[in-house]
Structure 1
Amino acid sequence: MPSLENTSGLSLNMSMVEDPFLDIWDMLANVTYNPNYVDTETVKNCRKSNVNNFVSKFNPAFCYVNFLLSYIGNGLVLYIIYKYEKLNTVTNIFLLNLVLSNILFATSLPFWATYYLSEWIFGEVLCKLVSSAYFIGFYSSILFLTLMTFDRYLAVVHAVAAAKSRKRSYAFISSVVVWCISIIASVKELVFQKVWESNGLVCEEAGYSESTMALWRLVTYYQQFLVFFLLPLLMVVYCYVSITIRILSTRMKEKCRAIKLIFIIVFTFFLCWTPYNVVILLRAIQSSSPDVECADSDRLDYALFVTRNVAYLYCCISPVFYTFVGKKFQSHFKRLLAKKIPCLRRHLSLSSQSTRSTSQKTPHSDYEY
């Protein structure tokens, strides 16, 4: 799997299964140089067999679990949009793009699970495309979550002004900008990812000097932390604090429920994303250090594995989380259950009434809590 710190020209004894997420190849013992270039830099030898064995055992399972949850959850949201909604609102346009970004991200996971279990068997074209799709989906998912939060802020806090500016053109232009940023941030994968032989086929960054790859890894670290974590986190916190203040100043019914849901959204976002990005920041600091102990590097490897999978799991299930906190989508889901499972119809008898009430739009009905 493409890593935030892939190596560039070192090969590994294939008795240890490669983990494309972790930049451990350039510190392994018994390394040989990739014939694509000559690198004369000295590499510190750290044996990482324990890390490799741990990752190779558990990462395929995490990939398949994330893949299944993403396709089930995002597929359900996609079906509800198709069945009961139309793409004539800003909310639904953003939500559709969020679902597509998560599906794009999840589609790459079975490829990486297979890679963990054996070697890269899909060829160089798919190596580049799958690596790029993985990061494009990952980055765009974060940005669309942030964009949806900002749009919710506009609809609730600045409802009158937002009613004039929140048009379909605004949604389409914003979505195009998000996809462009995500693609640009992922271009490195198209350029650097290659398939080469190392007692088996690997899909890794190769063909450039270690100094060049180290620089790009450092740029990618800070890009991840600043652009795709710190900025979105600050925006999410600011927007939801503003929404909470606005709700407290109104006579809105179920005020306590709305505030609880806001707290859950912010807390979950912070809980899932902060540990992973703190590890990323520590990786950036570590990569700039001339002398790193192998034990410290191992601890960061384990931390990266655990926190990364928690962050990616949130990335996969976020559309369900963001949609079903709203009464409108809850009502659609009840209608769907009542239709598909007739025995539940009596218990869900209020769903049609809720749906009719939610169909009567207010300036921010898409964000009703």
Structure 2
Amino acid sequence: MDQLNSSVVTSNISSPGRPPLASWDPTDLIASVVLSFCFLLGVPGNIAVITLRPNWEHLSDLSQILMLNLAVSDLLCLLTLPLWIYTLLYSWTFGLVTCKLLAYLVYCSLYGSLLTVTVLSVQRYLQVVQLQKWFDRKGKKRMLVLLWLIAMILSIPSLVVRQLTPDQHWTTCQPRFSSPAQRMAVLSESLPGFVSITVVIFSYISLQRKVNQAAFFNNPKTTRLVTSIIVTFFVLWMPYHITNMLGVAAISLHNDSLLMSCMNSLNICKALVFVISFLNPLLYAFASRNMFTRTADDLV
């Protein structure tokens, strides 16, 4: 996501690039704690999914491919967190090339995860409703290639605008915009996210209505699981997208105070997005198998 750094007060610095605890911005401390939590729990969780593939023998081939792709994309995203945490608390010391490439990798991973969840939700809905498989072996590979190609294209703006910004003893790896129009264009990245979230919510709500018509699926556990998937996805993604869109509105209205408020709150919103990467194994790989592996046609 956009740089997980914000301007930090650097007065009374005891050594270059290492501010005392009292000078750290509270939002950076909160974001660092959340990101550390995500790293410590998410990395083992996604590795377990990749290596163990729990109860996947009952899943369709496409579901297994999507589950594995989701775990890989989440793992790639989480593995970058130690550098972002260090940078939040201290300073960026890894050079411009690393700054750009790491930001691009994070964006690709998050977009890959978002698109995978979107495709997975649509696939589950279509299999339950249409009761048929939609891709042959070549089609599955092409779908996966297309998914990552879209993720790479959507991530290009982060590669272009990311720059090093020195401030006394502090250096940040963050977007630097040449004009308000460029800033607006980059913040508008949330539009694809809104579309994906809408598709996921619609698919799962429709799926729940469909499966609850059958007595086999009609139970409280099914309702709780589908509800948890929708609520988690919505709650953790929407603050980031809403903040970005408010930023676009602030630029359009030339409202500097609103724009500053949006920028100051982005760190927390971005940290929430990373929470998804460690929750995905619980929601999609471990828990949801109990609901979606019960039919004879591997309806997932």
Aligned length: 289
**Residues in 1 aligned to 2:8 and 2:274: alpha-carbon distance in whole angstroms:** 29
User: What is the distance in 1 between the residues matched to 2:272 and 2:205?
Assistant: 25
Say whether the 8 Å CA contact 2:74–2:109 is kept in structure 1.
yes
The alpha carbon displacement at 1:361 in A equals 7.2
Contact 1:13 1:198 in 2 (8 A): no
**Secondary structure class of the residue paired with 1:321:** helix
Instruction: Give the counterpart of 1:238 among 189, 196, 202.
Output: 202
For 2:70, give the aligned amino acid.
L
Q: CA deviation at 1:81?
A: 1.9
Q: Residue 168 of structure 2: SS of its match in structure 1?
A: coil
**1:145 maps to amino acid:** V
RMSD: 3.3
CA distance 1:306–1:115, shift in 2 (3 Å) = closer
Instruction: Specify the alignment match of 2:297 in structure 1.
Output: 363
CA distance in 2, matches of 1:76, 1:124: 34
The 5 Å alignment of 1:199-278 reads 199-200=168-169, 201-206=171-176, 210-211=178-179, 214-224=180-190, 226-228=191-193, 230-278=194-242
Is 1:187 matched with 2:156? yes
Partners of 1:69 and 1:316 within 8 A in 2: yes
* Deviation string, structure 1 residues 212-248 (Cα, Å, up to 9, x no partner): xx32321222221x201x2112212221232223223
> Which of 233, 240, 245 is the aligned partner of 1:281?
245
The 5 A counterparts of 1:89-238 are 89-159=61-131, 162-163=132-133, 165-195=134-164, 197-200=166-169, 201-206=171-176, 210-211=178-179, 214-224=180-190, 226-228=191-193, 230-238=194-202
- Match for residue 335 of structure 1? none
* Aligned residue identity for 1:314: I
Q: Which has the higher contact order (CA 8 A, sep 6+)?
A: 2
Q: Which moved more, 1:84-93 or 1:131-140?
A: 84-93
Amino acid at match of 1:266: I
Larger radius of gyration, structure 1 or 2? Answer: 1
Moved over 6 A (4+): none
Structure 1, 127-136 or 231-240: larger mean CA deviation: 231-240
Provide structure 1 residue ranges, at least 5 long, that are not aligned to the other structure.
17-49, 331-357
Structure 2 Cα separation of the partners of residues 193 and 327 of structure 1: 40
Q: For residues 218 and 297 of structure 1, what CA distance do their matches in structure 2 show?
A: 11
Q: Cα distance 1:246–1:328, how it changes in 2: closer, same or farther (>3 A)?
A: closer
Partner residue in 1 for 2:18: none
TM-score for the superposition, normalised by structure 2: 0.82
Partner of 1:2: 2
CA distance in 2, matches of 1:67, 1:142: 18
Residue identity in the other structure for 1:243: L
Q: Which amino acid aligns with 1:70?
A: G
Distance (whole Å) between structure 1 residues aligned to residue 259 and residue 159 of structure 2: 28
Which stretch has the larger CA shift, 258-267 or 70-79? Answer: 258-267
User: CA offset at residue 299 of structure 1?
Assistant: 4.3
